[in-house]
C-alpha cells in the first residue's frame, strides 16, 4: 500500500463557466495532470478528487456543473466536496488519508494560488509531506485591487512557489513527483 496520495483539486466544469476562464494554458495543464494521474495509478498511488461547492453561480450543486471536466479520468479512490478553499476543513479528507497510512500528498488542480496553495499550506502544517506540482496546476490572470496591475498566470505561479518552497511543500514537476513513489 502506498503512503502517498494524489489530490486533484477542483478540476471541474464550474470553472469553464466562470468569467475569468481562459483556454490558453489548459492544454499544457491537461497534459501535465494526465501524465501525473496516469503515473500515480501505475504506481498504486490512490487518486482523490476534490470538488468545490459554492453558494452561487456555477459552483452550486443546483448548477449541475460541480462535476469533473470531461477529460479527467473517472474512478478515483475517493471523492470529496468542499465548501472552503482548502480540501480539509469540511470534507473528511484528513481522516480518510490517516486511516490509510498516507503521509505524503501530491497536490495538483485548479487554481494554483487559491485552493491548491491553501490545501498545500494546511497539509504541511498538519504534518503531511507535500509535493506541489506547479505544472499540473492551472490559474488565470488577476488584477491587483489597489494598483490595477495585472499579474499573469506565470507570475502568480512563481509567487506561489516562492512562498511554499521549503516552508509548506517541495516544488516539483511531474517527473519529480513520480520519482518519489515506487513503480
Burial of 59 (0-12, 13-18, 19+ CB in 10 A): buried
Residue with cell 500528498: 105
Number of structural domains the chain divides into = 1
Looking up residue 70, the CATH number of its domain turns out to be 3.40.50.850
**What would the pLDDT profile of 140-156 be if each residue is shown by its tens digit?**
999 999 999 999 999 99
Bridging pattern class, strands 129-138 and 47-52:
unpaired
CA 75 to chain centroid, in Å, comes to 17
Statement: residue 183 has pLDDT above 70 = no
Q: Which of 104, 112, 75 is nearest to 169 (CA)?
A: 104
Q: Which of 112, 40, 53, 54 is nearest to 79 (CA)?
A: 53
Looking at the chain, the whole-number percentage of residues with pLDDT higher than 70 is 99
Domain of residue 17 covers 4-179
Q: Which of 68, 48, 66, 70 is nearest to 58 (CA)?
A: 66
Spatial separation of the C-alpha atoms in residues 159 and 68, rounded to whole Å: 27
Q: Could you please report the per-residue DSSP string of 94-135? A: HHHHHHTT--EEEEEEE-IIIIIHHHHHHHHHTT-EEEEEEE
Quote the pTM value: 0.97
Helix (H) or strand (E) run with residue 157 in it: helix 153-164
**What would the pLDDT profile of 75-131 be if each residue is shown by its tens digit?**
999 999 999 999 999 999 999 999 999 999 999 999 999 999 999 999 999 999 999
121 to each of 5, 105, 151, how far by Cα in Å?
16, 11, 22
For the chain, the 3-state helix, strand and coil shares in percent, each to the nearest 5, are 35, 25, 40
pLDDT of residue 20: 94
Amino acid at each position: 500500500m502506498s503512503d502517498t496520495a494524489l489530490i486533484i483539486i477542483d478540476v471541474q466544469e464550474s470553472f469553464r463557466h466562470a468569467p475569468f476562464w481562459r483556454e490558453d494554458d489548459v492544454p499544457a495543464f491537461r497534459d501535465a495532470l494526465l501524465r501525473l494521474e496516469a503515473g500515480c495509478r501505475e504506481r498504486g498511488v490512490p487518486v482523490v478528487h476534490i470538488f468545490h461547492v459554492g453558494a452561487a453561480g456555477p459552483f452550486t450543486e443546483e448548477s449541475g456543473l460541480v462535476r469533473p471536466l470531461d477529460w479527467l479520468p473517472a474512478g478515483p479512490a475517493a471523492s470529496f466536496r468542499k465548501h472552503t478553499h482548502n480540501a480539509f476543513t469540511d470534507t473528511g479528507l484528513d481522516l480518510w488519508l490517516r486511516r490509510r497510512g498516507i503521509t505524503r500528498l501530491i497536490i495538483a488542480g485548479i487554481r494554483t494560488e487559491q485552493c491548491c496553495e491553501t490545501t498545500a499550506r494546511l497539509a504541511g502544517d498538519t504534518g503531511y509531506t507535500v509535493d506541489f506540482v506547479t505544472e499540473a496546476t492551472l490559474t488565470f490572470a488577476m488584477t491587483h485591487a489597489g494598483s490595477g496591475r495585472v499579474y499573469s498566470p506565470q507570475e502568480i505561479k512563481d509567487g506561489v512557489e516562492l512562498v511554499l518552497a521549503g516552508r509548506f511543500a517541495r516544488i516539483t514537476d511531474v517527473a519529480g513527483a513520480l520519482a518519489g513513489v515506487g513503480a
